[in-house]
Amino acid sequence: MSSAAPKPESGAGLSGRIARLFVYPVKSCAGVELAEAVVTPAGLDLDRAWMVVDAEGNFVSQRELPRMALIRPQLKIHEVILRAPGMLALHLTIDAVEEPVQVRLWDDEVPAYDMGSVAAQWFSDFLGQRLRLVRFDPDHRRLSNLEWTGGLEAPNQFNDGYPFLVASTASLAGLNERLASAGHAPVGIERFRPNIVIEGVEAHDEDRADALRIGSEPGTVLKLVKPCPRCPIPNVDPQTGETSPVVGDTLQSYRQNPRLDGRVTFAMNAILLEGEDAVLRVGQPVSGDWKFD
Tally of residues, the chain:
293
Examine residue 270 and state whether it is found in any structural domain, yes or no. yes
| Average pLDDT over every residue of 84-111 | 96
Helices (H), the chain: 117-127, 146-149, 169-181, 205-208, 246-252
Examine residue 293 and state whether it is found in any structural domain, yes or no. no
Examine residue 5 and state whether it is found in any structural domain, yes or no. no
Burial 24-48 (b: 16+ CB within 10 A, else e): bbbbbbbbbebeebebbebbbbbbb
- Give the CATH number, domain containing residue 39: 2.40.33.20
Examine residue 6 and state whether it is found in any structural domain, yes or no. no
| CA-atom Rg of the chain in angstroms | 19
Q: Supply the pLDDT for residue 216.
A: 81
Q: Supply the pLDDT for residue 217.
A: 75
The residues, any chain, with a CB within 8 Å of residue 241's CB and separated by 6 or more, are 66, 67, 68, 69, 70
Per-residue confidence at 173, pLDDT binned at 50, 70, 90? very high
> How far is 112 from 158, CA to CA, in rounded Å?
10
Burial 203-230 (b: 16+ CB within 10 A, else e): bbbbbbbebbbbbeeebbbbbbbbbbbb
- Cα distances from 13 to residues 68, 201, 206, 287, in angstroms, run 39, 10, 11, 7
**Beta strands of 161-262 (E only): which ranges?**
164-168, 196-199, 211-214, 220-229, 256-257
Examine residue 213 and state whether it is found in any structural domain, yes or no. yes
Find the Cα–Cα–Cα–Cα dihedral 223, 226, 228, 229, rounded to 10°.
Answer: 180
Examine residue 1 and state whether it is found in any structural domain, yes or no. no
Q: Supply the pLDDT for residue 268.
A: 98
Lowest mean pLDDT among 10-14, 119-123, 237-241: 10-14
3-state helix, strand, coil in the chain (%, to 5): 20, 40, 45
Strand order through the sheet with 279-281:
43-44, 36-40, 279-281
| Average pLDDT over every residue of 256-269 | 97
Per-residue confidence at 5, pLDDT binned at 50, 70, 90? very low
Which residue type, as a one-letter code, is found at position 25? Answer: P
Q: Whole-number mean pLDDT of the chain? A: 95
CB 281 within 8 A of CB 35: yes
CB 162 within 8 A of CB 156: yes
Per-residue confidence at 189, pLDDT binned at 50, 70, 90? very high
pTM over 0.85: yes
**What's the total number of domains in the chain?**
1
Tens digits of per-residue pLDDT, 45-83?
999 999 999 999 999 999 999 999 999 999 999 999 999
SS3 40: strand
Q: Supply the pLDDT for residue 293.
A: 57
> How far is 40 from 133, CA to CA, in rounded Å?
23
Q: Print the domain residue range for 31.
A: 14-288
* DSSP 8-state code for residue 63: T
| Average pLDDT over every residue of 22-48 | 98
Examine residue 182 and state whether it is found in any structural domain, yes or no. yes
